[in-house]
Structure 1
Amino acid sequence: MLSDSPARSGDPLAAGADVLVTVRGGTLRGRQENGLTVLRGVRYATAPRFGPPAPEQPWPGVRDAVEHGGVSPQPPARPGSAGGAPQIGVQSEDCLNLTIVTPAADGARRPVIVWLHGGSYRSGAGSWDRYRTDRLAREGDVVVISVNSRLGALGYLSAPGVSPGNLGLLDQLEALRWVRDNAADLGGDPGNVTLVGQSSGAHSIACLLGVAQARPLFRRVVLQSPPLGLGLGGAPDTGRLGERFLARLGGDPSEASLEQLLAAQQAAERDVAGRGFTPAYGPVAGADPLPDAEGWLAACRAGAPDLDVVLGTTRREMAYFLGGGPISERVPLVGRAVENGVIGVVTWTAFTRPTLRFARLLSGAGARVFVYGIDGPASASPYRAGHCSDLPWLFGDEAAWAQTPMLAGQSWQDVTEHGRALRSAWLSFAAGGAPALTELGWQPYRGRRAAVHRFGTARSAGLGY
């Protein structure tokens, strides 16, 4: 369903006692749920179509924050996806909102975690049930803030006279400013903010590391499965994509319906297909707030001495996209071996090797860097230790991840237990940074394979580090 109005989800999780929380802009009505204070659909900015975001203005009275806000308009999930088909929610251009979970809005100055979801810059939402952060907030006594921002053409179209590009990145930057200004009112410490992102969310964080105005807004970062093999600064055919989008739309972008914009977005993606798994839409070098490629590298190095970083990948990232595919289906024995070989090579090329290179770059510039690898539990699933396999270890509950193909053969108790060490590490890092991980036995990464911290038990020779 598409709409130009904010979401009204009727989420059963909204049931609970009301709680009033006053932030800089005014008073919000949230819910007390299982010992936590939860605020949903908290608008941090507004933006015209294909225009930059502007900070949300103060409001009179009490504003409801009990139901999820809109999510960026997006296409349906890929059929047969290893991640299953999540409930997208109500789609709206009015999607610049936050989901906030805090033990209490009491001025206690807790660590703050800001979550940036993945989805190839074209899908996803921080407000999805599968990204619920109750467990993290409760286990770590932390404030967790999940961000919704513009995606796809609405967030990353680069077309002269229509859209400058990087609007989704500007949205995220504005969300971080909101966190800085309001964290203390939510029971958090604005001086102790950790960004955590997965896939394109991690790629976004890497982009922000090279944006000088972003660096004062966070202290630490966790990059889960960053697809750094994509490069930073957008695809070389960004201009062609913009041209194809406008041609497919065939009308005024400012007047088109959301359905027409999405149809043109998908058609343009097909027109420029053939770049493997590279997202069609994404950040563009030299468009605000990103400097050009050289400037981005210089800014990353300049900000490194004050930065704590955790980054890593799963052993079989590409199994999420290729596992159980036509190769292994047609020739079960030989085909599976060939499939695993392809998964290993592409995982190394697109994820593992560029992640290690980025780790060395930051470490060499003075950052305190730690690298991890996820082996995953022993499983006959073709998706084992694939992209996104770490997400249910951190977020959501059994109902949110039910019927997800990549979890086939695992009980929810298994998932919860496998994730315990990961959650403990992330929460310790958010609270105490590099020294906290050192106390847990992690070694700083300076280009040594032995320093890579391993999660999980199932290891396959030749796949990963």
Structure 2
Amino acid sequence: MVTISSGELRGAVAESGLTVFRGVPYARAARFAPPGPVEPWTGVRDATEHGEISPQPPFRIGSVTGMPEEGLRHGEDCLNLTIVTPAADGRKRPVLVWLPGGAYVTGAGSLAFYDGQRLAAEGDVVFVGVNYRLGALGYLKLDGVSPGNLGLLDQLAALRWVRDNIERFGGDPGQVTLFGQSAGAHSIACLMAMPAADGLFRRAILQSAPMAMKIAKPARARRVARYFTRALRTDPRTAGIGEILAAQQQAIVRAAGPGGLYSVPPFCPVAETDPLPGVAGWLPAAVRRARDVDVIIGTTRAEMNTFLNGKPGVTQLEAIPFLGGAGTAAAKTAITRWMFDAPSRRFADALAAAGGRVFTYRFDWAAPASGFGACHCIELPFLLGDREAWAGAPMLAGVEWDGMAELGRALRGAWLSFAKTGEPFLGWQRHSPRAPFGYTWAEIGPDRESRLGRTAGVG
């Protein structure tokens, strides 16, 4: 039982001995409205079942990660948290707040994929998974209807809730680490650029952030809004959820252009829209926080395999004799470098040059029989979720769960050490923009050493 600013909550003790609170509301919002405070309730609110997740299409990379659990409740009352704590006592433990990815259209912090019980148990920390609005409901910018960037405002509201309430769950509001993957990591770069987020988190871990996509120009957001409204053909404020999702998908296809080649998410953070600055000022505004926020940022070796492997057009190219396989492999490597690796390193360089404490990594581990290599999302099972959640993941084919234990403990240990001290562990060195690749724990995988020869790889 915990009493927070809006009332009393009843959680549940898991088999692990940890206490878990699910579906905890951190804000309320009408459709296309900014988040506002939760109305206080009387009596005890049950927090033993997960709350709603943002309405969304089917998981688009399920052929790589496996599909989420069945029975998830989709709905617009989705601004809620999952909180895992060793004990709701008076101790002030470090807090890790998780922002899930999913191209800004899928995902939820409450998915079994993202269960934080291993981190909470091994590190004696409090874990918080965040659900927020996605797709058109979270990122449509349409004059007179939706202001845009509502998903970011939801995240900001969640961080404020953590600041005001997490001490009741045994956490320290002054020692918050924000970590996320893919769109969740990109969101963190956006939050770092917001003055409104100052002081809400002390450290940040950006996993596989697609930094090359930057933030959308207002003109592009207006174009996407036209695609959406033409497909919807009714008032977005009163349309059914099914209609919203169908129009959203049509807008995504239209925005991708011929052959779907331009696959940057069309529903995403928009520049010059509260609370973000213009495109040119976005990263400089984030770098402004360099001395205030310690950062880990990194990528996987073969990010694009998740999005391109097995796709019909790619498969046909790979079948071309002699050069097809080598050519497509080179293209995947080049796109990975352009979208993920190079801009992440540039961001790390800028933070380090501004006096920030920054660490970079690259995750190289790959399952022996998956064919996906060290793809986008491959590091997630080492950090979050459990054996059951990841049992159907094709990207893990050919490896037993217990065979991942050593590397998992090492990776979780690095994240936990960083959350507590600002240092991943003794083997890591701070990133320097003067070095060719920075001081980096460059290759996380079996029997590897760092490219600079400064530290041993893990595995």
TM-score by length of 2: 0.92
Equivalent residue number for residue 104 of structure 1 = 87
Superposed CA offset, 1:221-249 (max 9, x none):
00000000101345852211101111111
Q: Is the 8 A contact 2:218 2:272 kept in 1?
A: no
CA separation of 1:192 and 1:79: change in aligned 2, threshold 3 A:
closer
Q: Is the 8 A contact 2:61 2:306 kept in 1?
A: no
SS of the counterpart of 2:54?
Answer: coil
SS of the counterpart of 1:361?
Answer: helix
SS of the counterpart of 1:81?
Answer: helix
CA separation of 1:87 and 1:21: change in aligned 2, threshold 3 A:
same
Equivalent residue number for residue 401 of structure 1 = 390
Superposed CA offset, 1:241-285 (max 9, x none):
101111111111111110111111111111111353311110001
What's the CA shift for 1:345? 0.6
Return the match for 2:182 from 189, 199, 223. Answer: 199
Equivalent residue number for residue 422 of structure 1 = 411
Superposed CA offset, 1:90-137 (max 9, x none):
100000000000000101000000000000000001000111110000
Equivalent residue number for residue 456 of structure 2 = none
Equivalent residue number for residue 306 of structure 1 = 292
Of stretches 324-333 and 439-448 in structure 1, the one that deviates more from structure 2 is: 324-333
1:5-404 equivalences under 5 Å are 20-33=1-14, 34-78=16-60, 81-87=63-69, 89-233=72-216, 237-274=220-257, 276-326=262-312, 327-328=314-315, 331=319, 334=322, 335-377=324-366, 379-404=368-393
Q: Is the 8 A contact 1:323 1:339 kept in 2?
A: no
Q: Is the 8 A contact 2:217 2:279 kept in 1?
A: no
Of stretches 417-426 and 108-117 in structure 1, the one that deviates more from structure 2 is: 417-426
Q: Is the 8 A contact 1:309 1:369 kept in 2?
A: yes
Distance 1:306 1:404 in 2: 38
Distance 1:140 1:35 in 2: 14
Percent identity of the aligned residues? 53
Structure 1: gaps (5+ residues): 1-19
Of stretches 214-223 and 375-384 in structure 1, the one that deviates more from structure 2 is: 375-384
- Alignment size in residue pairs: 440
Q: Is the 8 A contact 1:234 1:282 kept in 2?
A: no
Q: Is the 8 A contact 2:256 2:263 kept in 1?
A: no
Distance 2:393 2:377 in 1: 11
Distance 1:399 1:257 in 2: 34
What's the CA shift for 1:67? 0.2
SS of the counterpart of 1:190?
Answer: strand
Superposed CA offset, 1:295-352 (max 9, x none):
4334223221122000000010101111244444662874433332121110000000
Superposed CA offset, 1:45-76 (max 9, x none):
01010110002132211101000000000011
Distance 2:401 2:218 in 1: 39
Q: Amino acid of the residue matched to residue 289 of structure 1?
A: P
Q: Is the 8 A contact 2:306 2:376 kept in 1?
A: yes
Superposed CA offset, 1:385-441 (max 9, x none):
1000000011111111112111111111123332221100000000111xx33x522
Q: Is the 8 A contact 2:290 2:356 kept in 1?
A: yes
Q: Which runs of 4+ in 1 moved over 3 A?
A: 233-236, 324-330, 332-336
Distance 1:86 1:384 in 2: 21
SS of the counterpart of 1:45?
Answer: coil
SS of the counterpart of 1:218?
Answer: coil
Q: Amino acid of the residue matched to residue 97 of structure 1?
A: N
Of stretches 138-147 and 84-93 in structure 1, the one that deviates more from structure 2 is: 84-93
Distance 1:352 1:303 in 2: 21
SS of the counterpart of 2:120?
Answer: helix
Return the match for 2:430 from 440, 444, 458. Answer: 444
Of stretches 113-122 and 81-90 in structure 1, the one that deviates more from structure 2 is: 81-90
Superposed CA offset, 1:131-151 (max 9, x none):
111000000000000000000
What's the CA shift for 1:154? 0.0
Distance 2:412 2:321 in 1: 37
Q: Is the 8 A contact 1:136 1:423 kept in 2?
A: yes
Of stretches 347-356 and 329-338 in structure 1, the one that deviates more from structure 2 is: 329-338
Of stretches 245-254 and 317-326 in structure 1, the one that deviates more from structure 2 is: 317-326
Q: Amino acid of the residue matched to residue 281 of structure 1?
A: F
What's the CA shift for 1:293? 2.7
Distance 1:93 1:378 in 2: 37
Q: Is the 8 A contact 1:328 1:336 kept in 2?
A: no
Distance 1:342 1:294 in 2: 28
Q: Is the 8 A contact 1:377 1:458 kept in 2?
A: no
Equivalent residue number for residue 15 of structure 1 = none
What's the CA shift for 1:83? 1.6
Structure 2: gaps (5+ residues): 452-459
SS of the counterpart of 2:358?
Answer: strand
Superposed CA offset, 1:161-211 (max 9, x none):
111110000000000000000111110000000000000000000000100
SS of the counterpart of 2:403?
Answer: helix
Counterpart check, 1:411 vs 2:400: yes
Distance 1:416 1:290 in 2: 40
SS of the counterpart of 1:279?
Answer: coil
Q: Amino acid of the residue matched to residue 64 of structure 1?
A: D
